[in-house]
Amino acid sequence: MMKPTDGTIVLDGRMVPIGDHVNLLDLIRAGGIDLPTFCYHSDLSVYGACRLCIVEVEGRGIVTSCTTRPEPGMVVSTRSARLRDIRKLTAELLLANHDMSCPTCTRAGSCQLRRLAERLGIDRIRFRQRQERLPLDQSSISLIRDPNKCVLCGDCVRICREVQGIGVLDFANRGSKVQVTPAFGQGLGEVECVHCGQCASVCPTGALAVRSQVNEVWAAIHDPERIVVAQVAPAVRVGVGEAFGLPPGESHIGQTVAALRAMGFDRVYDTGFGADLTVLEEGTEFVRRYRARKDLPLFTSCCPAWVKLVEQWYPQLLNNLSTCRSPQQALGRLIKRELPREMGVAPEKIFMVSIMPCTAKKFEARRSEMVTDGRPDVDAVITVPELVQMIAESGLDFAGLEPDRMDLPYGFKTGAGVLFGTTGGVTEAVLRYAAEVMAKPLGRPPAFHKVRGMERLREAEVELGDDKLRLAVVHGLAAAQQLVEDVLAGKREYDLVEVMACPGGCVGGAGQPPARTPSVREARQASIYQTDTMLQMRNSQDNPYLQRVYADTLGEPGSPAAHELLHTHYHPRRRTGAVEVEISGGADPSHRVVRVEVCVGTNCHLRGSHDLLHRLIDHVNERGWGHLVDITATFCNEVCERGPAVRIDDELHEKCTLEMVLDRVEGAIGAEEAPVATSR
Amino acid sequence: MGCACIDARSTQTRQFLKVNEILQRFDRNPRRLIAILQAVQDEYRYLPEPVLNYLATSLGIPRARVYGVVTFYAHFSLQPKGKYIIRICDGTACHVNNSQALLDLVRDKLGIDEEKPTSEDMLFTLERVSCIGACGLAPVAVVADRVYGQLGVQKLGEVLEEMVRAEKERRT
């Protein structure tokens, strides 16, 4: 009999050193045994809900390994008749609660539940299926929620709360009625969801899935009148191969282009060209702001999930967001303007498809600001799994395709453009441009490696000539919110802050094949850096086709023409549909009543709207206006930066004081009451 | 025209001011969510959705979390409840002592059912509860916070009639 020594456990009869593992599950997996799990993610808190990682510990019986701390001398067994029975039973119970519509499920290929059933050899389910079918939530432009497929692992709840700091989803009800849902059973498209899609990325089944736009794309391809143009985002090339069983991180841009052409795309361009445009515009904007010391820090705005978060929670920072369009939208706009001229076709013939590692890009493309002359700048956005499905549907052997190159001019990108695919990449790309503007011209680009890496928040100081720039790079929206709070509280000061919503940036986007471990994201990131190194041109400003666009039509970066084409604007956005709290329903119906709606949303609240509301009620009482005024508390009139906002009848008043509101109310009453007033 | 105070006319105003008072009383501490919800429900007799949105915003917690807590506990209600709550115990001891007859009686008398547990006039809400810890007195009901043990159909009918009569008198 082996004797366990300090710092080791006995795992299935072998001695295994504990090392720095904090839970038994990690240690067992490091020991080469892949216990199944649904609810365990190294990025998230430990939950212990799925009961699949059970093991037997001598003296303790059966425990979940994810919630058990390894202790020296522990004797652990991962296999026994009992464990096998319990695991199979658990899997059967999960399956009995699942609608098993596998053939029509978009996640069938990457479904963990299906894989589990296969692994455990489940050949029958001894329990009756749940009868009641719950409705699908199709309210979101980017995601579809199917509660019938949910196994209640809570991964989506935790990633939204812990990694993104939002908490759109949570458990509701209890017992057999438990559901994961947004507040009040609302749809994902009606609440504060920022469309990052990380919930779908961690979902082990198809309960949260990406809304497919493949049909729209095929329809355009099969329409002989249409010219279908693809733009491929930088991070797509390092993710797509995984879906075909190729090693994580390998770049397969050549095969991707070949597949797109084979499927009938008329032009294939690189979103990296759009990124180069963004670099020049955002870089110019940054240098101007930096020199004027105005609206700093400059926050990047390439990530639409981050932009929506700012619009909903931090309207006071809207002026700090770069006004520059994201690469997707910059390129979409440019191509829709230039290509019809170049090809001599009507603009409405062009159908722009972007292939993105991102679900929020679907939302971005539908923003009202992203429509020119009634036509969207980008017509459809598909994610990597959607592209993969199209390739599979076409019967193409992806790995065996003869690699092809992108079309000129918009298929030409620099290393800086490709860097946009990873956290830290936008900063590095902008620095390469700013360095040339602010300091001496560059030969080989200096490596701004300080901003590279995978830590959630990375800070760096970079000297350019006489200036010392203070930079921050952050990914994951919880970390971003923490940073914003610190900036607003004056605890941190920066000149430039890059924010990407997804872990690792776009390489970890929810439009990629699901990355089950951080190492997958790291491999993709490494590949992005390698692509940058291999490209002959690494600075956006050196891109000759980009230079031509400026020479021919835009003039200088930051010019009025460039602003018109490549910049946008943002607006405060309420987090949920309009809701009101009726306060004084006592108005007399025989009078015309003045309706007063005081905003009590977060920003107006911070600007004193609660106090205003209280004093307003007091004054209305004192003056005996109770029968003439209807007071309501509302949430968000979307003018947050000019709060407190009060709507009196149909007119919205900003920056309100009590005196102002009383004056206006008195005016409104006076207009109605004048003839009656004498009778008092 | 008499006094045109909002206060005198509208319970809504009073309730809203009360919500703010409650938030203040609990220091806007998100960890006191359940206590806050209880206090707010005492005020409104249920938890209106806009008020919950308001609480979530004020406490800085996700709306979905507040919704989760509210739907977890049977005590909380998203539907308006009647002025008086009738809780009939249907735990094992009461069940075998024919609590079903009590449930049937109340439903019959008030014209309500499981789907719609509140009477038309908003006076009563019926709740079937699972054990209130008075099994020795089975069957048990709690009507308007008063416990009735060894309760028969006839007695319960009388209690209800008495309440309805008292309420009518109050109104006239």
Pairing of strands A350-356, A227-232: parallel
Residues B53 and B107 reside in one and the same domain:
no
Closest-CA residue in chain A for B61? A167
What is the structure's pLDDT at A610?
77
Read off the pLDDT band of A584 (50, 70, 90).
low
Residues B99 and B164 reside in one and the same domain:
yes
Nearest to B163 by CA among B119, B126, B124, B129: B124
Is B75 a residue whose pLDDT tops 50? yes
Mean pLDDT calculated for residue range A6-21? 90
What is the structure's pLDDT at A2?
46
* Residue B10 contacts A, CB cutoff 8 Å: yes
Does the distance separating the beta carbons of A617 and B17 come in below 8 Å? yes
Q: What is the percent of chain A where pLDDT is above 70?
A: 94
Residues B29 and B62 reside in one and the same domain:
yes
| C-alpha separations of A398 from A221, A256, A262 in Å | 19, 8, 11
Read off the pLDDT band of A662 (50, 70, 90).
confident
Asked whether residue B97 is assigned to any structural domain, the reply reads yes
Of the residues B9, B63, B70, B73, the best mutation for testing chain A's interface (the one with the most A CB atoms within 10 Å of its CB) is B63
Alpha carbon A323 to its chain's center: 19
Domains in chain B: how many in total? 2
Does the distance separating the beta carbons of A624 and B54 come in below 8 Å? no
Mean pLDDT calculated for residue range A166-188? 94
- Closest Cβ–Cβ partner in A170, A584, A614 for B64: A170
Range of the domain at B130: 84-171
Does the distance separating the beta carbons of A166 and B62 come in below 8 Å? yes
Give the model confidence (pLDDT) of B139-148 as tens digits: 999 999 899 9
Q: In sequence order, what E strands does A187-329 have?
A: 208-210, 227-232, 267-270, 298-299
Asked whether residue B61 is assigned to any structural domain, the reply reads yes
Mean pLDDT calculated for residue range A401-407? 96
Higher pLDDT, A615 or B136: B136
Read off the pLDDT band of A259 (50, 70, 90).
very high
Residues B94 and B155 reside in one and the same domain:
yes
Residues B94 and B20 reside in one and the same domain:
no
Read off the pLDDT band of A218 (50, 70, 90).
very high
CATH classification (class only), A8-79:
alpha beta
Please state, in angstroms and rounded to a whole number, the distance separating the CA atoms of residues A22 and B56: 35
Q: What is the percent of chain B where pLDDT is above 90?
A: 62
Active-site amino acid positions of A: 282, 285, 302, 322, 361, 364, 369, 506
* Min Cα–Cα distance to chain B from A129, Å: 24
Phi, psi of A416 (to 5 degrees): -60, -40
- CATH among 3.40.50.300, 1.20.1250.20, 3.40.50.2300, 3.40.30.10 for A580-677: 3.40.30.10
CATH number at residue B110: 3.40.30.10
- Closest Cβ–Cβ partner in A167, A579, A625 for B65: A167
Residues B29 and B52 reside in one and the same domain:
yes
Of the residues B5, B20, B43, B58, the best mutation for testing chain A's interface (the one with the most A CB atoms within 10 Å of its CB) is B5
What is the structure's pLDDT at A579?
61
Question: B48, B72, B96: which is the final residue of a domain?
Answer: B72
Q: What share of chain B is helix, strand, coil (3-state, %, to 5)?
A: 55, 10, 35
- Closest Cβ–Cβ partner in B5, B64, B72 for A167: B64
Mean pLDDT rounded to a whole number for chain A: 90
Instruction: Write down the H helix ranges in A344-423.
Output: 360-365, 384-393, 415-419
Phi, psi of A629 (to 5 degrees): -125, 135
Read off the pLDDT band of A671 (50, 70, 90).
low
Assign domain A91-210 to its CATH architecture: 2-Layer Sandwich (3.30)
Residue A623 contacts residue B46 (beta carbons within 8 Å): no
Closest-CA residue in chain B for A579? B50
Mean pLDDT rounded to a whole number for chain B: 88
Strands, sheet with A467-475, edge to edge from the N-terminal-most edge strand: A298-299, A496-500, A467-475, A457-464
What is the structure's pLDDT at A230?
98
* Min Cα–Cα distance to chain A from B123, Å: 21
What is the structure's pLDDT at A441?
60
Mean pLDDT calculated for residue range A359-382? 96
What is the structure's pLDDT at A445?
57
Pairing of strands A380-383, A350-356: parallel
Instruction: Compute the half-sphere exposure of residue A440: CA atoms within 13 Å on the CB side of its CA.
Output: 3
* Min Cα–Cα distance to chain B from A582, Å: 7
| C-alpha separations of A460 from A78, A451, A590 in Å | 46, 7, 67
Phi, psi of A59 (to 5 degrees): 90, -10
Give the model confidence (pLDDT) of B90-113 as tens digits: 999 999 999 999 999 999 999 999
Instruction: List Cβ neighbours of A60 (8 Å cut-off, separation of 6 or more).
Output: none
Residues B92 and B65 reside in one and the same domain:
no
What is the structure's pLDDT at B147?
94
- Amino acid letter for position A502: C
Mean pLDDT calculated for residue range A403-413? 96
Instruction: List Cβ neighbours of A235 (8 Å cut-off, separation of 6 or more).
Output: A357, A420, A421, A422, A505, A506, A507, A509, A512, A524, A528
Mean pLDDT calculated for residue range B35-49? 91
What is the structure's pLDDT at A56?
96
Phi, psi of A587 (to 5 degrees): -65, 150
Residues B20 and B54 reside in one and the same domain:
yes
Instruction: Compute the half-sphere exposure of residue A381: CA atoms within 13 Å on the CB side of its CA.
Output: 27
Give the model confidence (pLDDT) of A82-120 as tens digits: 999 999 999 999 898 888 889 999 998 889 999 999 999
* Residue B54 contacts A, CB cutoff 8 Å: yes
Read off the pLDDT band of A206 (50, 70, 90).
very high
Mean pLDDT calculated for residue range B50-65? 90
Tokens of A450: 């300080």
What is the structure's pLDDT at A643?
81
Give the model confidence (pLDDT) of A585-613 as tens digits: 555 656 678 888 888 777 787 788 878 88
Asked whether residue B88 is assigned to any structural domain, the reply reads yes
What are the sequence ranges of the domains in chain A? 8-79, 91-210, 214-566, 580-677
Is A637 a residue whose pLDDT tops 90? no
Question: B72, B94, B117: which is the final residue of a domain?
Answer: B72
Residues B112 and B149 reside in one and the same domain:
yes
Give the model confidence (pLDDT) of A491-506 as tens digits: 999 999 999 999 999 9
Reported pTM: 0.87
Q: What HEC string does A301-352 produce?
A: CCCHHHHHHHHHHCHHHHHHECCECCHHHHHHHHHHHHHHHHHCCCHHHEEE
- Closest Cβ–Cβ partner in A174, A585, A626 for B12: A585
Read off the pLDDT band of B1 (50, 70, 90).
very low
Is A373 a residue whose pLDDT tops 80? yes
CATH classification (class only), A214-566:
alpha beta
B17 contacts in chain A (CB < 8 Å): 614, 617
Does the distance separating the beta carbons of A167 and B57 come in below 8 Å? no
Phi, psi of A443 (to 5 degrees): -95, -100
Does the distance separating the beta carbons of A184 and B10 come in below 8 Å? no
Read off the pLDDT band of B10 (50, 70, 90).
low
Residues B109 and B157 reside in one and the same domain:
yes
Mean pLDDT calculated for residue range B8-16? 61
Of the residues A193, A482, A584, the best mutation for testing chain B's interface (the one with the most B CB atoms within 10 Å of its CB) is A584
What is the structure's pLDDT at A672?
58
